[in-house]
């Protein structure tokens, strides 16, 4: 799948691009089922909220669940990012973020490349997120908030917050967020299940807690140009991956092809059309 010049220009201008309904409801259903299966697993990669029960995020689900493995090689996600970073990409990080009904907690204001540069020594912001909405994201269930244009000035100063949630994050202070939001406003990324949001790795973003009775699962692929791979291996390899081989996209119908059990060597990937 290729972005148009207009979409590329809008991405560079604002730092994000929304692609509504890029995946069908049938494809989103496959992933919703997959997310339930993953959150039911007792694995170190499945991080819970501070209550110790509610799933917050499942890291590296492409390494242990077949549907998420296929999504990690999906051409509708991989190809637009290859276009924007201008070359082959590897998977730097993979998250299935839950934000469960009533108990899903905040993600504080931050920049992803702030973490990738400080913790992982990724050389440049030649990496980005592409997020697929597994559930509809509404004003109620803690949609992602983005400050348009906040990707243009590099990495801002940040403090390492290890207390607010169960997951440590380099977060921006209130004065900087206020200044940026005064300038750019805040975009609330709402959309149907199956919609896709691409955002620059320096964009300032956050999301509020989910007080609604509706869950909000989003899958984030953080893709990096292969030459821009991380130089420091401080975080676990299931948080910041070390397989820098270029991702070969699968056929477009891979999520709807018969789902085989996950196999370590990739032999479970059977697709209808090669
Ligand atoms: C993130 O910024 O990595 C996740 C935010 C969210 O899922 O709300
Ligand atoms: Mn983030």
Q: Cβ neighbours of residue 244 under 8 Å, at least 6 residues apart?
A: 90, 226, 229
- Give pLDDT, residue 25: 98
Q: How far, in whole angstroms, is CA 186 from its chain's centroid?
A: 19
Radius of gyration of the chain (CA): 17
**Three-state SS at 95:** strand
- Give pLDDT, residue 46: 97
Strand-pair partners of 55: 48
- Whose C-alpha lies nearest to ligand 1, atom 4? 107
Q: Cβ neighbours of residue 209 under 8 Å, at least 6 residues apart?
A: 104, 105, 106, 142
Contact status, residue 146 vs residue 16, Cβ threshold 8 Å: yes
Of the CA atoms within 13 Å of residue 4, those in its CB half-sphere come to 5
Which ligand has the shortest distance to the CA of 218? 1
Report CA dihedral (238, 239, 243, 248) to the nearest 10 degrees.
100
169 lines ligand 1 (CB under 6 A): no
56 lines ligand 1 (CB under 6 A): no
218 lines ligand 1 (CB under 6 A): yes
How far apart are the C-alpha atoms of 209 and 223, rounded to whole Å? Answer: 26
- Whose C-alpha lies nearest to ligand 1, atom 5? 107
- Read off the pLDDT of residues 95-148 as tens digits, 9 standing for 90 and up: 999 999 999 999 999 999 999 999 999 999 999 999 999 999 999 999 999 999
Residue 143 Cα: closest atom of ligand 1: 8
- Read off the pLDDT of residues 156-171 as tens digits, 9 standing for 90 and up: 999 988 887 777 888 9
Candidates 187, 205, 210: which one to mutate for ligand 1, based on the most atoms within 8 Å of Cβ? 205
137 lines ligand 1 (CB under 6 A): no
How large is the average pLDDT for residues 7-12? 98
| Average pLDDT of the residues of the chain | 94
85 lines ligand 1 (CB under 6 A): no
Q: Which of 59-68, 149-158, 205-214, 260-269 has the weakest average pLDDT?
A: 260-269
59 lines ligand 1 (CB under 6 A): no
Q: How far is the CA of 273 from the centre of ligand 2 (A)?
A: 34
How large is the average pLDDT for residues 57-72? 97
Which ligand has the shortest distance to the CA of 215? 1
107 lines ligand 1 (CB under 6 A): yes
How far apart are the C-alpha atoms of 15 and 10, rounded to whole Å? Answer: 8
97 lines ligand 1 (CB under 6 A): yes
Q: How far is the CA of 271 from the centre of ligand 1 (A)?
A: 31
């Amino acid at each position: 799948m290729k972005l148009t010049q207009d979409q590329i220009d809008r991405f560079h201008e604002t730092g994000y691009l929304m692609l509504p309904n890029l995946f069908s409801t049938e494809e989103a259903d496959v992933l919703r089922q997959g997310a339930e299966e993953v959150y039911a697993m007792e694995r170190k990669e499945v991080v819970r909220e501070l209550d110790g029960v509610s799933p917050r995020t499942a890291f590296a689900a492409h390494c242990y669940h077949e549907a998420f493995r296929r999504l990690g090689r999906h051409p509708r996600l991989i190809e637009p990012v290859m276009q924007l970073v201008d070359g082959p990409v590897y998977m730097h990080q993979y998250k299935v973020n839950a934000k469960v009904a009533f108990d899903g907690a905040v993600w504080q204001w931050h920049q992803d490349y702030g973490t990738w540069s400080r913790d992982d020594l990724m050389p440049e912001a030649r990496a980005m997120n592409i997020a697929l909405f597994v559930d509809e994201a509404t004003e109620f269930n803690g949609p992602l908030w983005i400050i348009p244009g906040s990707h243009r000035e590099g990495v801002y100063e940040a403090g390492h917050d290890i207390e607010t949630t169960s997951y440590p994050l380099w977060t921006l202070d209130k004065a900087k967020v206020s200044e940026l939001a005064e300038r750019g406003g805040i975009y609330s990324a709402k959309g149907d299940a199956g919609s896709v949001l691409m955002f620059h790795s320096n964009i300032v973003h956050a999301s509020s807690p989910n007080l609604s009775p509706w869950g909000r699962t989003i899958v984030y692929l953080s893709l990096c140009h292969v030459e821009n791979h991380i130089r420091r291996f401080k975080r676990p390899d299931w948080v910041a991956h070390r397989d820098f081989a270029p991702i070969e996209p699968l056929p477009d119908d891979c999520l709807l092809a018969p789902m085989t059990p996950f196999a370590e060597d990739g032999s479970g990937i059977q697709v209808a059309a090669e």
